[in-house]
A and B are shown apart, each in its own frame.
Chain A
């Protein structure tokens, strides 16, 4: 690969990789969930918060954020740090919503005071954030959200309920969308920093098909939110939410969010190794052209994702600013699902064995991981919605609605 790294970048990469080798923490007693979305135990929480704080202190998080907001004030270092964390197979960062969504949103839309107050504890992991967008009646059609905020002096009084709120059980703050005008769909939404520890907030866990929890229903009953917790102007919530979502879908700059430390490359390489071990009909799957074809096709998709990402660095080759970025979440999540489906097929009967079974392949990670791939294809705008967006925004096809 033709390297375009500057000397400083190369030195920073070497620093990160050396630091990670030295400081990567020993594994937890009970294994960590596969991603930050499913962390629920207190032991895991404190282990992960400690880890994030160390990484922040070492300069691996918020590398490119200005110093006055608690960042390290570099330029184009974050990608390097994040890549190295993944490469080291180090634990993910529990505050992935804070890092991946709250921080970029505050940097783009927050007041000076909000940035100075809220950013440093996001970086250190001290204050965990959650995202209160979806409601029972407003999923794909987010703009139909009904949670209301009514002005009362210097405060807002919020009523309604949010659902599927990942990390709501640990969060101190919520990225809260509420309706401030019933008569204006788009301009009637305002964006707030929701205090999760305030009176009137109730968090109830929801269980996932894996048996894990990690997301919640959040009930908001006469919750008082001071006006200085409002992000951007009254009625601008939808525009601000779009910038949050751009980051959630991986099309933003980010400040080092890593919700899941396994790269698709690691997964496909493990699959190929598995194919070389698993036997059918007296030969390994790898010796069988049907399986080799499937696996190389998956490898090709993985490689294409990487090269797409690389091509982003060469604007002239991009065919429009959002064309590739908007494909990232869609293709990445579907690739992850296909990788896991293939793993289960390769394992045959062994795919039936789950976490905790002594004979399960890698302690059941493929079955668990398969189910958790629906997080990617459903949340943050489902695959169907992503295809609508690409068709409409990138290709100019007629709008569904």
Chain B
């Protein structure tokens, strides 16, 4: 038996991460994405965007067991921990892949924290390939776990949930709703009647987002104590999205470093100039800090729950600021070409800046982290 690795990152994780990377390189998701958004480019005159993605690739991902990854064995899953899940999430981010995988993994961790029988039965569905996203934001986009605008009475959901990710890609929702002030969690199949979807027009091309309005929708309660369950799962939610950012920023770093080696101006590759070289190095330094904090946060969630909140807020704080910096420098240092629609820098730029805001930006995370000191 090999010596166990730190962070809980062992051979199994490495193999999975490696195969995820090769899978995504092979699928070239951005080529498919570009084909699917042709004609939608212009913000005023373009057609509306559908948030489409490659369903066949998604089915392959299900076949590879990625949706079942963190589902407990008792519910038919693989029962892996957060470190394993973020290894895949990081590759999703690096590939800039349009996929409901991260949302589904996040939902998985919330259901795991709930642990009720009904939660377990929804986890079984996830293991079999049902995708799910979180519907926990209210209209103000507030980031508190109990800030939902959905109410429940007599087992029926009413109200609108905002900023639901991957809405055009998912099969089901994990909804936070208030029952006389107490937050409870519900699972809903998107196809049931009374669920009305409105799709947002968003900046990020790799994701889609929308609002879900519930009109007397019967839903299954999967957790009576929603606020504390969401709170317990929050480190996992933050760490997964931070891993996605870490992957995206690594792509931006590598693309910019490569370009600085081949783009020649003043008879030198532009990377020769310190005004180019140093910010690229700073992208690496920030990206590495984020990545380490992300793995530390995952490890804390898996093995040291007392410290998991602090670790996760630090990871997302770092990830959010790294996202803004790397997006900014990557575009700037590519010059005109990086500002074009045709170049992939813009796709990653928008994706990491979307992620920067998801579950709260750096300022928010630091305020939260401070409460753990």
Contacts and interface: CB of A to CB of B under 8 A. Distances in A.
Interface string A341-353: 1001100111111
Nearest to B340: A206
A138 to B, nearest CB: 8
Contacts of B201: 353-357, 360, 364
Given A213-B42, A349-B162, A352-B204, A377 B332 contact: yes
B26 interface: no
A401 B336 CA distance: 22
Contact of B200 (A144, A208, A353): A353
Contacts of A348: 141, 143, 357, 360-361, 364
Contacts of B336: 134, 139, 163-164, 378-379
A284 to B, nearest CB: 12
A210 B346 CA distance: 9
A375 B162 contact: no
Given A140-B265, A354-B201, A378-B339, A209 B332 contact: no
Given A353-B201, A355-B201, A384-B276, A400 B266 contact: yes
Contacts of B66: none
Contacts of A310: none
Given A207-B41, A207-B341, A345 B331 contact: no
A211 interface: yes
A388 interface: yes
B145 to A, nearest CB: 13
B363 A349 contact: no
Main DSSP-derived SS at the B contact region: mixed
Contact of A349 (B340, B342, B357): B357
Give the size category of A's interface with B.
Answer: 35 or more
B161 to A, nearest CB: 12
A47 to B, nearest CB: 14
B339 A375 contact: yes
B353 interface: yes
Given A141-B265, A207-B342, A349-B358, A382 B364 contact: no
Interface residues of B, number: 53
Interface stretch (B43-51, B300-308, B311-319): B43-51
A281 interface: yes
B83 to A, nearest CB: 28
A383 interface: yes
B67 to A, nearest CB: 25
A48 to B, nearest CB: 15
B52 to A, nearest CB: 17
A352 B48 CA distance: 16
A237 B341 CA distance: 32
A139 B335 contact: yes
A93 B63 CA distance: 58
Given A209-B349, A348-B357, A368-B43, A279 B275 contact: no
B321 to A, nearest CB: 10
Interface in B346-360: 346, 349-350, 353-354, 357-358, 360
Interface string A281-309: 10000000011000000000000000000
Given A206-B340, A209-B349, A352-B200, 20 more contacts: A134-B336, A140-B266, A141-B266, A206-B341, A208-B339, A208-B341, A209-B346, A211-B42, A290-B363, A290-B367, A344-B353, A352-B209, A353-B200, A353-B203, A354-B201, A368-B43, A374-B332, A378-B336, A388-B275, A400-B266
27 contacts: A207-B342, A209-B331, A209-B340, A209-B345, A209-B349, A211-B43, A211-B46, A348-B357, A348-B360, A349-B162, A351-B357, A352-B163, A352-B200, A352-B204, A352-B209, A354-B201, A354-B202, A355-B43, A357-B200, A359-B200, A360-B201, A374-B332, A377-B332, A378-B336, A382-B332, A384-B276, A387-B275
